């Protein structure tokens, strides 16, 4: 894209904090759903560490599982920015739900949009838009930040591949029917042998393993995947053999913006709970919100959240405008995750002893926030990416 074209695209973007009529309506619809339907279930799902599956049907009916999928395939035909709004609003009530919708839209659907051929789109998009949950399987026991040190192998046969290996920490794995899974089809070539495959839950040799017992986002399933001579048809290769590394790198950029939305939403939820408490709690004859020390903490929280939201929205707008956004995505992921831990910690502090109990939501938000600095690229990896791009400018 030429410099002039890039400038035209940027100038054509709506201002970061403005919304079209469709975006505003969509956001309010998701918020109303989260408040009415999800909020009463948050505590139960967290305690049981399990997602209430009957909610999935409602997610699909609401259209939040196929936001960017074109209407011709049964999707909503919306923008990436709308997906970000959905993740933020859901995470404001329960980040566990936010990440389910995030992975579906910013990773799985996004991969199909960018890399699937027309046959694959016709086969999988209607399912992903109307009833099938997707998962993204890259990480392994020895392949986290060093994502391309993966050991899962794909052996080519005349009309299919045989996959063997084990994936760990796969979000949505328990509920998913469709998996984007990465394996090396040519180990001597190193990362250039990595290939992306579309795997269905019923494929021979494919098993969803144990669910992890996590600190936070407990309703969201995080499981291992086992491949024991798993048979995958050749038509289920995404893109072509050997470009899986490119697919993974580019897809995760959008995913990091999604995590920014999740962290912004959960911080907003914690802030609102803390703000309400300071107006109800009395000490020394007045609301504690009247004390300057409390006011300053609330002000810092509001500033932090707004900075994160603005950066997240800007990155999403840049992605929709088709301009480079890798640096901004990394900044979004880093800043939002650090912000979320700071804001939720302050929320617990403002509630005092009550904040440390499970009777108030801030305790859960605090636990949920930590994962933001770990998955889809640790904070250190984001700093490395940012530094590299800054130094190359």
* CA torsion angle 176 178 181 186 (round to 10): 150
Q: First vs last Cα of the chain: how many Å apart? A: 17
**Residue that is written with structure tokens 């046969």 in the block:** 157
The DSSP line for 230-293 is EEEEGGGEES-TT-HHHHHHHHHHHHHHHHHHHHHHHHHHHHHHHHHHHHH-EETTEEGGGSHH
84 closest CA partner among 346, 359, 316, 345: 316
Q: Which residues pair with 222 in a beta bridge?
A: 171
CA dist., res. 136 & res. 31, Å (int): 26
Catalytic residues: 376
Backbone angles phi, psi at 169, to 5 degrees: 60, 45
Query: What are the tokens at 361?
Result: 């939501």
Strands (E), the chain: 133-137, 153-156, 160-171, 176-184, 194-200, 206-211, 222-233, 237-238, 282-283, 286-287
CA dist., res. 369 & res. 341, Å (int): 5
**Residue that is written with structure tokens 């566990």 in the block:** 96
CA dist., res. 338 & res. 326, Å (int): 19
CA dist., res. 2 & res. 255, Å (int): 26
DSSP class of residue 53 equals T
């Amino acid at each position: 894209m030429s410099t002039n074209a890039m400038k035209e695209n940027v100038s054509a973007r709506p201002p970061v904090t403005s919304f079209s009529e469709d975006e505003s309506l969509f956001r309010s619809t998701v918020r109303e759903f989260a408040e009415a339907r999800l909020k009463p279930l948050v505590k139960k799902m967290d305690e049981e560490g399990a997602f209430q599956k009957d909610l999935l049907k409602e997610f699909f009916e609401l259209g939040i599982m196929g936001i960017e999928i074109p209407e011709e395939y049964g999707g909503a035909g919306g923008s990436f920015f709308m997906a970000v709004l959905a993740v933020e609003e859901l995470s404001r009530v329960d980040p566990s739900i936010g990440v389910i919708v995030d992975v579906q839209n910013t990773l799985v659907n996004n991969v199909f949009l960018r890399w699937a051929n027309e046959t694959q789109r016709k086969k999988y998009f209607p399912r992903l838009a109307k009833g099938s949950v997707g998962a993204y399987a890259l990480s392994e026991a020895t392949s986290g930040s060093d994502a391309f040190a993966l050991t899962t192998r794909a052996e080519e046969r005349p009309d299919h591949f045989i996959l063997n290996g084990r994936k760990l920490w796969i979000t949505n794995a328990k509920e998913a029917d469709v998996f984007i899974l990465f394996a090396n089809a040519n180990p001597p070539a190193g990362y250039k042998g990595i290939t992306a495959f579309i795997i269905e839950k019923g494929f021979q040799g494919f098993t969803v393993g144990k669910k992890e017992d996590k600190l936070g986002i407990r309703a969201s399933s995080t499981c291992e995947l086992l491949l024991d001579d798993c048979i995958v048809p050749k038509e289920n290769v995404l893109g072509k053999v050997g470009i899986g590394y490119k697919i993974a790198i580019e897809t995760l950029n959008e995913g990091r913006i999604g995590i920014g939305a999740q962290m912004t939403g959960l911080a907003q939820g914690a802030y609102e709970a803390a703000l309400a408490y300071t107006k109800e709690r009395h000490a020394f004859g007045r609301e504690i919100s009247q004390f300057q020390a409390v006011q300053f903490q609330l002000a810092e929280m509001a500033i932090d959240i707004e900075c994160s939201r603005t950066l997240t929205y800007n990155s999403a707008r840049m992605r929709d405008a088709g301009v480079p956004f890798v640096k901004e995505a990394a900044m979004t992921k880093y800043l939002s995750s650090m912000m979320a831990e700071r804001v939720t910690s302050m929320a617990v502090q403002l509630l005092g002893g009550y904040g440390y109990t499970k009777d108030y939501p801030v305790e859960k938000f605090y636990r949920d926030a930590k994962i933001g600095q770990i998955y889809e690229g640790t904070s250190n990896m984001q700093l490395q990416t940012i530094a590299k791009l800054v130094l190359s400018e």
